[in-house]
Amino acid sequence: MGKTICSFFSFLTEAVILWQYASGLFAAKHTAKKKFIILCGLYFILFAASLFESKLVNIALYFLFNFVFLVTQYCLNTYSAFFHSSILASVMILCEVMVYYIIRYFSPHFFERGENFHFLVIFAIFSKLMFFTIIYIILHFLKGLQNRDERQDKSAFLLALIPVTSVFVMITFTKISDSCDLSPVLNRMLTLSAVFLLAINLLIFGIEQYNRKKSLDFTEMQLLLQRESDSARYYEMLLSQHENQSILIHDIKKHLQSINTLNDKMEHDKIREYIQGLMKSSDLKEVSRLCDHEMLNAILARYGRECLDKHIAFHTDIRSGIIDFIADADITSLFCNLLDNAMEAAGHSPDSFIEISVCKREKTPFIIITMINSSKKNPFDEPGGKLATTKSNKHKHGFGIKSIQKIVTRYHGNMQMYYNQESLTFHTVITLKQ
C-alpha cells in the first residue's frame, strides 16, 4: 500500500512538472481544460501500469506519454517533442539515481528499513524535489535563449535558491531519520514536512509562471492601447484638418471682402502682403504626395507638417507598391512609433533632420525600412545599454520599441539600431518579409 501511495504521489508531481515545463516554453493548441483532461488520462494509465512494477515499461511509457502530450497539446513538431520528452525522461531517471546514492552516502542505513512507508515517502519527495530543481533550471535556461531579459535572469536565479535550499533540507531529513529512532508521531510529522516542502516549491513555481503570464498580458494590453492611441491621434489630426479647412472656407468671403476693401483704397502693397499671408497658411496647402499608399502618405504628411513647425528637415523615399502586404493598423503603429522616437531625438539637435526610406531587396521577399535622424546624444547612454528617454512619464517609455518589435516579429523580420558618433546620427534598420 505504501508503494502505491508513493507511486501515485510521484506521478502526480511529474504531471505538474510536465504541465509547467510545457506551458512555460510552448504555445498551446487547445484550452487549459482539454489539456488537463488529456494529462490526467495519460498519467492515470501510467500510474496503473506502474502497479506491475516493471521499471523499463514505466520509463518507456513515461517517455511515450510525455511525447504524446507535447505533440497533441502544444505547437511543436515531432522532433522537438522527442527532444523535450527525452530531456524529461533522462532528468527523471538521473534524479532518482542521484538521490539514491546521495542518501546512501549521508545515511548508509537508510534503505535497511525495508518497506517502511515514511522512508519511501522521503525518498520519493527527495527525488521529485531534485527533479523539479533541475527542470526549473533547464526551463529558465531555454526561455533565456528565446528571450533574454536581465531582470528575468536575476529573478530566475533568486527563485532557484528555493529548490536548492529545499534539497539541503531533504538531506537533513534523511540524516535525522537514519540516525535517530523516531516515534511514529515524529515519523508522520517528518513525512508531512517533506510533503509540504515539495508542495511549497511547486506552488512557488506555479505562482511565478502565473505572474509572468499576467506581466505578458499587461504588456500586450499596453501595446494594444498604444496602437489605438496612434490611430486615435491620426484621426484626430484628420478631423482637426477638416475643421480648419471648413473654418477657412467659411471665412473666405471675409477675406475677399477685406481684399476688395483694400483694392478700393488702392493699397496694393497691403493687398500683396495680405495674399502672401493667406498663401503661407498650411490650411491652403494640398496634402503632399509622399508615397502611393494612402494610409502611410497621410501619416508622413502629418509628421512632415510637425517637422516643418519644429524646423526639422524631413526627407522621404518610399518606393511604389512595396508595403501593400502590411496591414493598415501595423503601418500606423510601426511608422508612428518610429517617427515619434525620431522627432523626440532630432528635436534637440541644432541641425535636425529625419530621413526615412523604404525599398525592396532585389531577388528576395524582403523590404528594408531605414530611419536616420540627427541626435546630439547617444540614446544608448543608459545603464544596460537601454535607450534613453526625455519623456516625463518614464513608465510609458519602451512600449513604442516593444510595439515595433512585435510587428517586426509578426512579419518574420529583424530590427537593428545603432548610433554613429561621428555624424551624430541614430540609425534604425528594419527588415520585413512579404
Rounded CA gap, 39 and 45, in Å? Answer: 10
Query: Which pLDDT does position 244 carry in this prediction?
Result: 60
Sign of CA pseudo-dihedral 381, 430, 375, 338 = negative
Please count the other Cβ atoms lying within 10 Å of the Cβ belonging to residue 183. 9
Query: Which pLDDT does position 150 carry in this prediction?
Result: 42
Query: Which pLDDT does position 236 carry in this prediction?
Result: 59
What average pLDDT does the segment 273-296 reach?
71
What average pLDDT does the segment 286-305 reach?
78
Task: Check pLDDT > 90 for residue 321.
Answer: no
Task: Check pLDDT > 60 for residue 388.
Answer: no
Q: Which of the four pLDDT bands, split at 50, 70 and 90, describes residue 300? A: confident
Query: Which pLDDT does position 354 carry in this prediction?
Result: 93
Q: What is the mean pLDDT of the chain?
A: 75
Task: Check pLDDT > 60 for residue 145.
Answer: no
Higher pLDDT pick, 167 / 8: 8
Query: Which pLDDT does position 267 carry in this prediction?
Result: 79
Q: Reduced to 3 states, what is the DSSP secondary structure of residue 355?
A: strand
Radius of gyration of the chain (CA): 33
Query: Which pLDDT does position 384 carry in this prediction?
Result: 45
pTM of the model: 0.44
Task: Check pLDDT > 60 for residue 146.
Answer: no
- Closest CA relative to residue 413, chosen from 353, 342, 360, 349: 360
What average pLDDT does the segment 306-329 reach?
86
Rounded CA gap, 417 and 434, in Å? Answer: 21
Query: Which pLDDT does position 368 carry in this prediction?
Result: 92
Q: How far is CA 84 from the centre of its chain?
A: 22
- The DSSP code for 286 is P
Query: Which pLDDT does position 298 carry in this prediction?
Result: 81
Query: Which pLDDT does position 11 carry in this prediction?
Result: 81
Please count the other Cβ atoms lying within 10 Å of the Cβ belonging to residue 261. 12
**Could you report the per-residue pLDDT of 323-366, keeping only the tens digit for each?**
888 888 788 888 888 998 888 888 777 789 999 999 888 888 88
CB 401 within 8 A of CB 354: no
Please count the other Cβ atoms lying within 10 Å of the Cβ belonging to residue 197. 19
**Could you report the per-residue pLDDT of 17-59, keeping only the tens digit for each?**
888 888 878 878 888 888 888 988 888 888 888 777 777 788 8
Query: Which pLDDT does position 148 carry in this prediction?
Result: 44
Rounded CA gap, 2 and 103, in Å? Answer: 19
* Structural domains present in the chain: 2-225 (no CATH), 288-433 (3.30.565.10)
Residues 6+ apart with CB under 8 A from 425: 372, 373, 374, 375, 419
The answer to which of 6-10, 122-126, 278-282, 396-400 has the lowest mean pLDDT is 396-400
Rounded CA gap, 254 and 250, in Å? Answer: 8
